[in-house]
Amino acid sequence: MPRLLLLLLCSLLPFTGHAADTKSSDNSPRISIIIDDMGNRLHEGGAAIALPGNLTYAVLPYTTYSKRLATAAHDAGKEVMLHQPMEAMSGNHLLGEGGITLDMTQKDIERTLRRNLASVPYSVGINNHMGSLMTRHPGNMGWLMSVLKRRGDLYFVDSKTTADSIAAQIAKEYAIPSAARNVFLDNDANPESIKKQFKRLIRHAKLTGSAVGIGHPYPETIAALKEMLPKLKEEGVKLIPVSKMIQFREIWSPIIWQASLSHSRPDSKN
């Protein structure tokens, strides 16, 4: 009975208005790749923007090349987001300008976030830079989400720098379009490790319908992506911006995805 119910849900999807527009006739697995920490290095940032496909670029506020690289990404038809620094359990000397910390008041957080967004042109969303402490606290994350709620035109991605993060949950409670990272591509910057993580991202997308990966403008990551991205077509996987991923996930939850795969397979005769 549960499987029959899931198949029924899949059969009804084309009649659900907005869902039909997003789904069309193509239910290929999708991935989104976010390149974090953009803004400090011009050459590496430019090389990341030159990568093929619809990658998304998370730009740190007030960095030397933040405005220049955000504008270059936008001009190249790529999606730009604010890479918002948030307090971590340790290493906060790396937070940089524009950080949000637990000792801030609600007004401090609102003012800082608005200024940071204004410093990164063409931002259509935000994700957290660091934040292993901040993203555990529902009150402070609620203050942040309230700013996004009032704006009404921004999404949020939980970078999941800690397994204890509740940021994505709070975003949903505030009805903010949101997603969460599934795979870090380059915690180990060894080229073979990056390729292995990229393949893991593909496997996750094929299993659940979609996956979000995060990498950085390291030379090794850029080289690995330059090699691997052209192979997506033969894998039957599409690379889409984060905003499109959020729309896709409104329809294709992992459960419905699995049901649709079962529905499309011929019955086994064994």
Residue 188's domain is classified under what CATH number? 3.20.20.370
Assigned domain for 262 exists: no
DSSP 160: -
Assigned domain for 168 exists: yes
Assigned domain for 20 exists: no
* CA distances in angstroms from 224 to 134, 181, 231, 246, listed in the order given: 32, 19, 12, 26
Residue 124 has φ and ψ, to the nearest 5°, of -115, 0
What's the rounded Cα separation, in Å, for the pair 106 and 101? Answer: 11
Q: Which domain holds residue 249?
A: 27-257
Alpha helices in 41-105 (DSSP H): 42-49, 66-75
What's the rounded Cα separation, in Å, for the pair 6 and 208? Answer: 15
Assigned domain for 17 exists: no
Report whether pLDDT(5) > 70.
no
Assigned domain for 2 exists: no
Give yes or no for a contact between 159 and 129, defined as CB atoms under 8 angstroms apart: yes
**pLDDT above 70 coverage of the chain, percent:** 85
- The pLDDT score that the predictor gives to residue 92 is 95
Assigned domain for 34 exists: yes
Assigned domain for 13 exists: no
pLDDT digits (tens, 9 = 90+) for 171-230: 999 999 999 999 999 999 999 999 999 999 999 999 999 999 999 999 999 999 999 999
Q: What is the reported pTM?
A: 0.87
Assigned domain for 21 exists: no
What is the domain count for the chain? 1
- The pLDDT score that the predictor gives to residue 106 is 97
What's the rounded Cα separation, in Å, for the pair 71 and 267? Answer: 51
pLDDT digits (tens, 9 = 90+) for 128-150: 999 999 999 999 999 999 999 99
